[in-house]
Structure 1
Amino acid sequence: MRSDGSALNLRRWWRSAGFAWAGIQHSYRLQANFRIEVWAGALAVALALLLRAPLAPILLCCGLVLSLELMNTALEAVVDLASPELHPLAKIAKDAAAAAVLVASIAAALVGVVVLGPALWRLIAGP
């Protein structure tokens, strides 16, 4: 479909948002790792709210991990379409995309420890 040229067209934006939501739904339904990351992120956000810890770093990390997981899912689909048979370059592409999610997940966990750790420790250790 051709664009009407206006970036501020509400109908166009709503249609695009629908496509994006379909991608999120597909990933949540079919990708176990995405479901795990969604719920881990929800837990981290809830914990930050409960502990009155800074929310911005937690939200940024959650957004990064989930975005990379969605990109990984998209890349895997494209690679499978372009190369249905096993190919060393297809493996490299898929492994590198998965590695990006892993690196972001490790970084998010470290941010979680730094941001939530001290408040959680105070809660557990008591006054």
Structure 2
Amino acid sequence: MHQIKRTGVKRFYFATKYSMQGIKAAWQEEPAFRYEVCAVVVMLPAAFWLAQSGIQLALLLACCFLVLAFEIVNSAIEAVVDRWGPEYHELAGRAKDMGSAAVFMMLNMTWVVWAGVAWDNGYLDFVKALF
């Protein structure tokens, strides 16, 4: 079957439409994505409060949105593996574990960046006093 290749504004429109469908599916089907969106809703205003420069704000916001992006990719990997078949296979398990590990690493990077910004801005002076 020949697929029609869209160009220009139509391509942008349909790419945006499909992206929104993916976000909607992640929200409806993935509890972890919903939890992370709720955390981002709290963290967005906190980022504007905590950041003292545009670079700091960009880092704080980028971490938040990267966690969501990693969660969507992890969910996509899991969906493809589950679609392939319900039986256990070592490679399928490894793929799922690696997707989960990517989200875990991004979550860890997020708290490290947030703690680093808080440290630089003097919000963790009580910790500095301990050292």
**Bin of the TM-score, shorter chain as denominator length:** 0.7 to 0.9
- What TM-score does the superposition give when structure 1 sets the normalisation length? 0.83
**What amino acid maps onto 2:70 in structure 1?**
L
Could you list the per-position Cα deviations for residues 3-54 of structure 1 after superposition, in whole angstroms to 9, with x for gaps in the alignment? 14x3xx1122111111110110111122111111112222222112123443
Distance in 2 (CA, whole Å) between partners of 1:14 and 1:70 is 21
| Structure 1 contact 37–66 (Cα < 8 Å) conserved | yes
Identity %: 33
State how many pairs are aligned. Answer: 120
Aligned positions of 1:16-27 closer than 5 A:
16-27=15-26
| Structure 1 contact 76–94 (Cα < 8 Å) conserved | yes
Distance in 2 (CA, whole Å) between partners of 1:35 and 1:120 is 32
Change beyond 3 A, Cα 1:10–1:25? same
CA RMSD of aligned residues (A): 2.0
Alignment equivalent of 2:81, drawn from 79, 82, 85:
79
Aligned residue number for residue 48 of structure 1: 47
Aligned positions of 1:1-127 closer than 5 A:
1-4=3-6, 6=7, 9-53=8-52, 54-117=56-119, 119=121, 121=123
| Structure 1 contact 27–73 (Cα < 8 Å) conserved | yes
Distance in 2 (CA, whole Å) between partners of 1:120 and 1:43 is 21
Where does structure 1 lack aligned partners over 5 or more consecutive residues?
123-127
Moved over 4 A (4+): 117-120
Aligned residue number for residue 125 of structure 1: none
**What amino acid maps onto 1:114 in structure 2?**
G
- What TM-score does the superposition give when structure 2 sets the normalisation length? 0.81
Distance in 2 (CA, whole Å) between partners of 1:120 and 1:41 is 23
